[in-house]
Structure formats: C-alpha cells, structure tokens
C-alpha cells in the first residue's frame, strides 16, 4: 500500500509464489481427510472449488465497489484486512478430532 520500487516488486513475487501453492495443498489435505471416502472425492473437490472460487469473483467486485464509493483503494484494502482478521479469529475454535485408537 505504501511501498514502491524493489520492495514492492519483491513482495509481489513472494506473494505469487506462495499464493500459487495454496490450492494444491488444500486439495491434498481434502484427499487425505479420512471422513471423505475415495468414491466421493470428485464431488467433494467440486464443492471445494465452488466455494474457494467465490472470492475470485466477489473480491474484485467488492474492491471495485468500494473504490467507486470512496475514490481510493484504501477502503478496499482495509476491508480485506478486516475480513482476514475475522477469518483468523474463526480458526481458533477449530480443533482436530482424533479417531479412536489414534494418538
């Protein structure tokens, strides 16, 4: 938001490398989930991508609407930061369930 030059370029390169690995890793985690039988992996993968790609549409739409309303990208960036903080907060109640016999 406030950087330019080499720092901004470096940050964008790191973001591109890290971001591109999220979907394959999440797909592998989905495939490794014991509650999902192998015969349902196609349907589970389709549902995952359907939900995961909502942000690919709504993110730019919300950013554009906030840009039009305020005349600056700052409102959109702050909205995305707030949304990320909410999602981080929602991860804390999540836990790991162990099957009987597993430690």
- Distance CA(60)–CA(56), nearest Å, equals 7
| pTM (2 d.p.) | 0.53
Banded pLDDT at 2 (limits 50, 70, 90): low
Q: What is the pLDDT of residue 103?
A: 54
* pLDDT confidence band for 85 (50 / 70 / 90): very high
Which residue range is the domain that position 12 belongs to?
7-52
pLDDT digits (tens, 9 = 90+) for 40-66: 889 988 888 888 788 778 888 988 999
Residue ranges of alpha helices (H) inside 1-103 are 5-19, 22-32, 41-52, 54-70, 74-91
Domain-located, residue 68: yes
pLDDT in tens, 10-29: 888 888 888 788 888 888 88
Upper half-sphere CA count for residue 21 (Cβ side, 13 Å): 4
Look at residues 46, 73, 70 and name the one whose alpha carbon lies nearest to residue 59. 73
Residues 40 and 64 in one domain: no
Is the model's pLDDT at 79 over the cut of 60? yes
Question: Are residues 13 and 47 both part of a single domain?
Answer: yes
């Amino acid at each position: 938001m406030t950087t330019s030059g080499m720092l901004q370029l470096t940050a964008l390169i790191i973001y591109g490398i890290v971001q591109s690995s999220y979907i394959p890793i999440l797909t592998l985690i989905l495939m490794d989930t014991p509650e999902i039988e192998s015969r349902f992996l196609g349907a589970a993968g389709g549902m995952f991508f359907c939900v995961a790609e909502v942000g690919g549409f709504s993110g730019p739409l919300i950013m554009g609407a906030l840009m039009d309303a305020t005349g600056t990208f700052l409102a959109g960036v702050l909205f995305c930061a707030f949304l990320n903080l909410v999602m981080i907060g929602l991860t804390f109640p999540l836990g790991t369930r162990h099957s009987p016999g597993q430690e």
